[in-house]
Amino acid sequence: MPSAIPLDIVWSVVVNHLAPGSVEVTRSAGRDNIVWEVRLPRVILGAIIGASLAVVGAALQSVTRNQLADPHLLGISSGAALGAIVVLLHTGMFLGLVTVPIFAFGGALLTTAVVVGVANLSNATNASRSVLTGVAVSFVVTSLGSPGIFLGDPRAAHTVIFWMLGGPGLAQWAQLPYPLLALAACGAYLMVNARSLNAMTLGDESATTLGIPAGRFRIMVFIACALLTGAAVAFSGIVSFVGLMIPHLVRMVVGGDYRRVLPLSGLVGAIFPVLADIAARVIVPPQDIPLGVITGLVGGVFFIVLMRRNVG
Amino acid sequence: MDRPKSSMDDMYVDLLSLGTIFGVGDKAEALVAGYKQELAEFSATLPASETPPKVFVYDSGEDKPFTAGRYGIPTALIEAAGGINITDDVASSWVEIGWEPVIERNPDVIVIVNYGDVTAEQKIAFIKHNAAFKDMPAVLNDRFVVLEYVEATPGPRNIAAIKRLAAAFHPQ
């Protein structure tokens, strides 16, 4: 059975932490810890992750003019997974708890640097070729991860799998500022350039005539998205479909103007993983289904429904 | 039909089967009889306690702990040593759960499974430094036991493991 903590106790814990001494203490330290140290950071992290991934998905769908673009497209997540594999199977957590997030973030950045470098060098900065570059680099990085798993201790292989399936259970107050900062900074950058994102959906030529350096802007958006995705994946593993699905959902309701799509994607993106995380914890208690499983399942079904609508 | 809960018989059956396969059934039976004898003698020395210590088995995992359920041999080891596995209601051998049930069930002792590149010290440090666990009796009293991987999985080292666990559960 999941730890069923009544609503009034939950509120008394929160109030007691925010305004100590104003509420009498009538519940166990265990429950206090569960609500304040586990659930609250977890919900906040889930919201930050969801908002980050949804915003990235929306932005990438614009600059790549590809409906299937999502945060994991450009090899960012494969790079993060590679970082996690190195830590979990080869180096151990020599920097303590933050070792995996640091290496995951580093892996994500490194992979993005490779994608950007290759795209620039092979003059592949237009929409479809940049996607291809990202996919190609992603394949290479993933295949580097495989010998990492193969050569690692087989008894520890499940730790990598569980990391990759994703979930905000790692959330602690001390770590929340990082993904929050990434969301604020990169989200602000994308919002400021929302009109440019609108223009990019019209095509590179049209965008250029409107004064936007299409190729360079695309690379800048890639970098911002990579930073944001890297920060998200570093803390919660690979949460699939949020970045792909939420922008489509939002566009169906408010249309294609990125000045509305971006903030709304962030908002809806924040809500969805929180709900999915609740489902993940109550379906087979006390087991904790990885978040990626729920989002993938719901996302896949949604996608099928979406395709049927487009045909009809 | 429900699977029976794990017990030391799981390990004995493995040895007996190996004995049959390799045609050394007599040796296997003698070995198993020896282990059973050793365990029975050891159990007689354990203090009878009305409140057996609650034990949490921590294999790995930071966002979610990977632990042993009712069908995993650690449950049998812990019970033979006079404790209770806090996750012995989960119908699985080894399973990922959430941290909330662990905090709610307030373990007195934490057993660390040691293997691979993430060391036992790193696992203990992770638990000690996580603010969510600060009020757990196991953390407050620094009661951690490290079992090697081969001790926490069925095999001849289980008997020695039970003795080490008992020493940690009943410090005298």
Residues B60 and B135 in one domain: yes
Instruction: Please indicate whether, in this complex, the C-beta atoms of A92 and B117 are within 8 angstroms of each other.
Output: yes
B118 vs B77 pLDDT, higher one: B77
Residues B60 and B120 in one domain: yes
- Structural contact between residues A106 and A43, judged by C-beta atoms closer than 8 angstroms: no
Q: Which residues in chain B have Cβ-Cβ distances shorter than 8 Å to A281? A: 98, 100
Q: Which residues contact A152 (CB under 8 A, 6 or more apart)?
A: A85, A88, A89, A90, A160, B116, B117
Q: Which residues in chain B have Cβ-Cβ distances shorter than 8 Å to A33? A: 103, 131-135
Residues B138 and B74 in one domain: yes
Amino acid symbol at A307? M
pLDDT-based confidence at residue A22 (cuts at 50, 70, 90): low
Distances (CA, A) of A111 to A76, A178, B154: 6, 20, 42
Amino acid symbol at A49? I
pLDDT at residue number A184: 94
* Cα–Cα dist B30/B38, whole Å: 12
Q: Which residues in chain A have Cβ-Cβ distances shorter than 8 Å to B64? A: 162, 167, 169, 288, 290
A229 CB-contact burial (10 Å; exposed 0-12 / middle 13-18 / buried 19+): buried
Q: Find the CB nearest A287 among B61, B97, B131.
A: B97
pLDDT at residue number A312: 46
Angle at B100 (CA atoms; ends A169, A293), nearest 5 degrees: 45
ipTM: 0.73
pTM here is 0.83
**The two structure tokens encoding residue A191:** 């919002």
Distances (CA, A) of B94 to B71, B74, B90, B138: 8, 10, 9, 21
Count of structural domains, chain B: 2
CA distance A268 to chain B (A): 24
CA distance A26 to chain B (A): 16
Q: Which residues contact A185 (CB under 8 A, 6 or more apart)?
A: A227
Instruction: Please indicate whether, in this complex, the C-beta atoms of B122 and A93 are within 8 angstroms of each other.
Output: yes
Domain span holding position B99:
54-169
For the stretch B129-154, pLDDT in tens is: 888 888 899 999 999 999 999 999 99
Local structure of A130: helix, strand or coil: helix
Residues B95 and B162 in one domain: yes
Residues B33 and B110 in one domain: no
Residues B27 and B90 in one domain: no
- Structural domains of chain A, with CATH: 46-280+289-311 (1.10.3470.10)
| Chain A nearest-CA residue for B149 | A155
pLDDT-based confidence at residue B63 (cuts at 50, 70, 90): confident
CATH code for position B91: 3.40.50.1980
Q: Find the CB nearest B97 among A94, A171, A286.
A: A286
Cα radius of gyration rounded to whole Å, chain B: 17
Residues B70 and B146 in one domain: yes
pLDDT at residue number A3: 64
Smallest Cα–Cα separation from B73: which of B136, B123, B147, B127? B147
Cα radius of gyration rounded to whole Å, chain A: 20
Q: Find the CB nearest B100 among A3, A94, A162.
A: A3
Taken in order A86, A87, A88, A94, is the CA torsion positive or negative? positive
Q: Is residue B2 part of a domain?
A: no
Please name the residues between 35 and 94 in chain B that touch chain A, using a CB distance below 8 Å. Answer: 60-64, 66, 87, 90, 92
For the stretch A202-218, pLDDT in tens is: 888 888 898 888 888 98
Q: Is residue B134 part of a domain?
A: yes
